[in-house]
Structure formats: structure tokens, C-alpha cells
Structure 1
């Protein structure tokens, strides 16, 4: 019995020493290779971000992720990254995970100075972006545009609603091709009917998709010979009608559609560089750990090294998300707690001397001392719009998912303007 206890003690202390050695080695490597972040808020200069100049290089797309849809400091740091990329690297397009034409409406404010920014933000439908942090970023964009030669454009790449696309397409058809109005009206009628019902039949979505395809084919048959901005915008909104219907049949359809919409934005602005704002799960470059391909995977195939995917991580704090009771959604809550997980990527980032950091993942060689932990599949936080009280982590290969990581040790819930309202209102 004593021998057994002694053996178990030896094993325990051996494992403890090995774990401590790995932890010390990882901390040493992190401290030497990370870029410490001094500020997470914008308009604090770029002294700490100067190393990004070479790391970003000539990339045309920089994707900024997030580990939750409701972390204040993550949103603020994304704002700061946008400021850096605009001022130091010449980026002129911002695009967010929000419905495309509704997001474009923000240009009325940031470029033309027209309208109420909060109303325009609310017009994007999602509580996730209806926050003080996003408003602060929009106000900064407007202020920047007042004196900038090359103005920032606000865009979106999502396609989960058809409302505004129907309106835009109707306005175009009335002037240019009123023969298609009956098809659009059929789509509109069925779309409104679908919006009123929670469990709409697949047949109705098939009809929506068929109507959208007729619109696309007919518009394409009458495509102007020369470049025509109005036609291209109308055609793109017809594509959103099709994408909306297609999304009913296949969950991955949304990510593929979002990638196509990003490509459309870049094709319309061939000399521009774009900053994307979305969840980590949409910007990731690898399917590993997930059921379907992400927007980032599609874009990686299209643009390769022209795109840099920057994931975000945090170790502790609170976040805003929708709470539910069983299957019933009961409203937004800003007191949701981020769980800690021993052995996760976050637990290793947390041992660095600096609380907030940027880490380039692209040139980590096998066998490099202190990097064993980051070259293994580990748990990594991933929370969407719905609060996850237990299952906050997914097992992934961090290096294959992202080019860089921004880690912010402690975060708080986003300052959401909808927090007192029921989710979805």
C-alpha cells in the first residue's frame, strides 16, 4: 500500500514539474515574441502597434474576429485596429457582419453627415452592433472623413434579410425594367408571409429562390455593355434575395454568400483595401473543429496571402448575450460570465507578463522551444449571440485558424443600447 502511495506521489510530482516547466517555457517564449498592447481604445497613437507595419505588409484584406458578440474591450480594440489600418496602411473600406444594404446606409452619416447614427445602426437589425463601442467607431469615421482625401466607406456583407434589397431593386426596375416587377412583387409577397411565420415550408423557400433566379437571369440578359454602378448595385441586391432563400437549405450557404459579397465589394473598388469585422467563427481559415466551411476559408482560397485573419481571445470577465430558458429566448443580459479553462489556449496567453498582446502565428517552427502548447489542438473560446453557461470552448488548431491573435486578458460586457429590450426587438 505504501509503495502504491509512493508511486502515485512520484507520478503526481513528476507531472507537476513537467507542467510547470512547460508553463515557464511557454511564458518565456510568449514574452519574447508577443507585441505588448498599451491601449485598447483608439486615438492613443500607434507606438505599441508599429511592429504591425511589416506583419500586415501588403495585405488587401484584414479580418478582425471576436470570441463573443458582446465584449466591450474587444470591440474597442477592433476600432483601434481600424484606426491604425486606415491611417498607417491605407485601408479605406470597413465591412461588418451585418446585412449588406442596411449597412451601406451608414455612409449617409459618415460620408455625407446626414441622419441619426443610432437609427441607422438600429436599421442593421442586430443588437450585437447596436452598442456604444460601435457608435464611438462610427463617430470617429465621420470625424476622419471630414478632412480625409480618401474617405472611409462603411459596408456590410451579410444577407439574412431581404427587406431593403427588395426596395432597392424595385426602385431600379421601375425606371429600367418594369417587366420584372411582377416577379419581384411575388417574391416580396411570399417573403412578407414567411416573415410572419416561424416555421415556413421548404416549398415557399424554393419559390423564393426560383423567383430570385429569374430576376438574376433577366437582369444579366440586359446587362449594360459599359460599367454601370446603378445596375451593379441592383444586381447585387437581387443576389442577396437569392442568397437569403438559399440560406434556408444549407447552413454553410451563409458563409459562402458572405465571402461572395466581400469579393463583390472589392471588385467594385479594385484599388481599395478592406477591414472585415465578424466573429472568429466566420473569419477562421480552417474547417478543423467545425462542421462547415467559413467565410474565411472561402476568402483564403480566393485571395491567399492577400488576406490576414486576426482572431481575438480573452481570459476572464463578462459579456453581453441572449439568455434563454430551455428553448425560449428571454432577453439580453450583460452579466454573463466568461469561464476559465485550464489547458486552453487562453490559459497559456494568460501567463504572459503583459495583460494584452498581439501574437503572430505564421512562422512558428516545429520543435521551437516554448511553442509545443500552441502547436497542439486545444480548447479555444467561441460564444455567439446566445449565452453559453457551460460549453464556451471548442477544440481547434489555432495556427491553422488564424494568422495572428489579439489577446485581452480581462474584458467586460459591451454597452448595448438594447439591453433592456427583449432579444429580437
Structure 2
């Protein structure tokens, strides 16, 4: 049998949510399903990721969605989807409040559609069973620090001093993480000690002095943990290389662990299951890519290592050509860019040549055919994108059948639609590598 014939035999249709049945069977009773994307600006990736997640929530009782987004902003969306009286009734209003560049990753029409569905789904459930929406990422140093202070002032005034010391330490940098990072490189002093002291005063399990709900307390703990993670991330960022990437992905896995623990404490005692939405470079196991050669680890690898491959399902996404929402440089205006046909010899080119269908679902068998065990280039587009650089960049050497458990394929994709009127602040330093 030729490679093309085997690809055609392995490919399942991907036209409606009913076509996801083989993937649902593969998920089985797994507790972790990580859903990727080959870019942060492609409609089909977001649309089908939402479709998979709807089925996971409705049919398999998944507990929450964790995304590659900032904790404070996403927590506002979470309050909206669970029906909190403190949040907008329409999640679109919470998404429109996102300010840190690139806002379009979450403030877009596809995410609005999913979060509106999630809010409606939650309305029929008791509070303990409502499905949340949380940011796993390491950014938002100042927003998280201010949120921690607000909580302490209201509920634990005896612990304010440590947080104020952290704020005073960061104060000279005027909410500029680049300035802080550069300063720690020039002078061997940092705010690490102050942040550690603040964390110690917010250790899980301590009883608040004021009247705070369990969720309010957890939100404060997580904001403090973000401050610690961001401080470490920005110090590592100025040194370049893989260390900042690893700080960031380890923080996201630790946040995922805290969310699992928090949800296990619910009174209903139901099994806790997590859906994760991130770029392929985060959710596809790095051990089966050239990322490993560069010393990088990622979320998919770490979750598999911690919980075992039987309890984790990794789903990659890819396309051959189309359009994408991205920017030419960090902090710039978004553009609809043309994604050229995939590089010859890449996974995307191979699937394009073999398949006549516009989309396909692959659920990889235990006994992998040769084409799924061979290393090939696999496209990865960041928020900063230069289509003319495809000759030498934008690809990750990948053993597809080891990096993922399943793969959603689209021959042609189109750019997603950002929400109108969102405010943009570049703020944070560019992620390494390539804004993923």
C-alpha cells in the first residue's frame, strides 16, 4: 500500500460534529484533552476546537477549559460563563475588555460563540457543576499584583504588607516588564524575595480573615502565583534561549494542576476533567520534535509525563494554505495575511497531495504506519508572521504520530474575525520563539 493510500484509509470525514465520534471514542475516560492550533488566527482551528469541547462537556462531563491566555482577563470571562452577578451577562463584553496584545487570540467572534454557548449550558446546572473558562499563561504581572492587593485589602488586611513590599519593589519600573527584565540583567537584584514573601502569606489552606468565598480565595492565590511566574519569566526572557519558554510552560502546567485540585474540592465529588486550548507548540509533545534538541519542554510533554499517556489525549491541527490573522511585528495592528502553500516535503504538503477532501480527522492507531513515525516539517505560525519567511522558518520537525494522538486537517483555512473596538496595549515582552 502506498503512503497516499494509507493516508486516505486513515482519514475520517470532518464535516459535522457527528464526525467527531472516533475522537470521542479515543478520549474515553481520559481526564486531560489538549487541543492545539497551528496559528493563533485561524477560524477553522477555533471553530472545530470549540465543537470538540462542546461534545466533551456535554457528553463526558469535562469540568473546565484552560486556555493560553492571561489569568485576570480570562477570570472575567469565567465569571460571565458561570453566571456570576459580578460579571456581564454577555461574555462578549468580558472578551471585549481584553487589552494586552494580541487581543484577537481570545477577543474574536469564534470565542464569543463558544462562551455564549457555555453560559447557556451552565444555566441549567447547579453551581458546583458549572464549567469554567480560565487563563493558564504567565503574563499579567501588574494586573495580577493589583488584583492580589485588592483581595488582601478586603479580606486579609493582616497580609497586605508583604504584597505592598512587592509592589514597591516593582514600582520603579512603571509597569514596564522590559525595564524590569533589563534591570535584573544589569544589576543582580530582583523582586524575587518580595514575591516569595507575598506568596507565603497566601498559601492555600489559610483561612481568610474577612468573608471570602472559596473561589475568591483561589483567584487571589492564583494571581499571586502569576506574579511569581511572571517575575521569573521576565528575568529569564532577557537571557534568550529556551529557559523563558520552559518557565512559561511549567507555569501553565502548575496552573492546570491547581485548577484540577480546586475543582476536586467541589462538594459534588464528580470526576474532574480538563480541556486545554493552546498552540500546537505547547500541546504537542515536545519530545517528538526538534524543540527537544533546543532544550525545550512543553505542556503536552509535561502533562503526559505526570499523568500517563492513557489519561491524556493530544490533538493537533494543521492546514495547507489560506489566510490568517496576524501582525508583522510585536504590538502592531492585525492584518489578514495570505498563508502560502506548505513547504514541499512537509506534513501539510503530504496530506494535501494525498487527500481530495477539504478536511479530515485522523485518530492515530496504536500500530503507527511509517508516515506517522517519520520526522517531517510541520507548520507553526505565531502572532507575528512573515509569509515570505516560510522558506526557512515557521516549521517544526515533527513525528506526527508521536507528537499527537489525533490530528484535524484542513486543506484551506481562513482568518478569524477579531472583535471590533478592543483596546490594545503591547505591554509585555515578545514570547520566544516567534510569538507562540
Smaller-chain TM-score range? 0.7 to 0.9
Task: Provide, for residues 373-420 of structure 1, a one-character-per-residue CA deviation record: whole Å limited to 9, x for no partner.
Answer: 322110100111101321221212222211111111110011113699
CA contact (8 A) 2:142 2:227 kept: no
Q: Equivalent residues in 2 for 1:385-404 (5 A)?
A: 385-389=383-387, 390=389, 391-404=393-406
1:140 aligns with one of 101, 106, 117: 117
Q: How does 1:325-344 map to 2 (within 5 A)?
A: 330-344=332-346
Given the alignment of the two structures, is residue 311 of structure 1 paired with residue 293 of structure 2, yes or no?
A: no
How far apart in 2 are the matches of 1:206 and 1:361?
50
Residues 166, 198 of structure 2: 8 Å contact kept? no
Long gaps (5+) in structure 1: 1-23, 40-45, 366-370
**Secondary structure at the residue paired with 1:282?**
helix
Tell me which residue corresponds to 2:239: none
1:383 partnered with 2:388: no
Distance change in 2, residues 1:164/1:329 (3 Å): closer
Q: Counterpart in 2 of 1:213?
A: 196
If you compute each CA radius of gyration, which structure gives the higher value, 1 or 2?
A: 1
Distance 2:301 2:189 in 1: 27
The alignment's TM-score, normalised by the length of structure 1, stands at: 0.83
Deviation per CA, 1:233-262, whole angstroms, max 9, x where unpaired? Answer: 433322111111011223110000000000
Q: TM-score, normalised by structure 2?
A: 0.81
- Whole-Å separation in 1 of the counterparts to 2:135 and 2:424: 25
2:95 is aligned to 121
Q: Deviations over 1:342-368 (max 9, x none)?
A: 211112222224321111235134xxx
Please give the alpha-carbon distance, in whole angstroms, between the structure 1 residues aligned to 2:300 and 2:248: 12
1:48/1:273 CA distance change after superposition, 3 Å: same
Question: What is the aligned-residue RMSD (CA, Å)?
Answer: 2.7
Contiguous gaps of at least 5 residues in structure 2: 237-242, 265-270, 428-436
Distance 1:27 1:76, change over 3 A: same
Give secondary structure in 2 for the equivalent of 1:364: coil
| TM-aligned CA distance change 1:283 to 1:409, over 3 Å | same
Contact 1:332–1:423 under 8 Å retained in 2: no
What does 1:249-328 correspond to in 2, within 5 Å?
Answer: 249=236, 250-251=243-244, 252-270=246-264, 271-287=271-287, 288-290=289-291, 291=294, 292-304=296-308, 305-324=310-329
Equivalenced residues, count = 387
Deviation at 1:146, TM superposition (A): 2.5
Counterparts in 2 of 1:197 and 1:30: CA distance versus 1, 3 Å: closer
The aligned counterpart of 1:27 is: 4
Separation in 2 of the partners of 1:136 and 1:112?
Answer: 16
What are the Cα deviations for residues 243-294 of structure 1, in whole angstroms up to 9, with x where unaligned? 1101122311000000000011011112221111100011121233113101
CA distance in 2, matches of 1:62, 1:416: 26
Distance between the aligned counterparts of 1:317 and 1:419, measured in 2? 26
Question: Alpha carbons of 1:190 and 1:404: their partners in 2 closer, same or farther (altered >3 Å)?
Answer: same
Contact 2:313–2:405 (CA<8 Å) still a contact in 1? yes
**Distance in 2 (alpha carbons) for counterparts of 1:300 and 1:353:** 34
Do 1:360 and 1:403's aligned partners in 2 also have CA atoms closer than 8 Å? Answer: yes
CA shift for structure 1 position 230: 4.5
- In structure 1, the residue corresponding to 2:68 is in which secondary structure? strand
The alignment partner of 1:320 has SS state of: strand
Deviations 1:102-148 (A, max 9, x none): 21211332221641533421444333211111111111112222234
- Give how far 1:180 is off: 3.4
1:184 positional shift: 1.4
C-alpha deviations, 1:192-213, integer Å up to 9, x for none? Answer: 5432474331168953222110
Q: 1:205 to 1:381 in 2, by over 3 A?
A: farther
Alpha-carbon contact 1:102-1:164 (below 8 Å) kept: no
What is the CA distance between 1:170 and its match in structure 2?
1.8
Range moving further from structure 2, 192-201 or 338-347: 192-201
**What residue in structure 2 maps to residue 42 of structure 1?**
none
Deviation at 1:222, TM superposition (A): 7.9
How do 1:32-111 residues align onto structure 2 when only pairs under 5 Å count?
32-39=9-16, 46-111=17-82
Residues 360, 408 of structure 2: 8 Å contact kept: yes
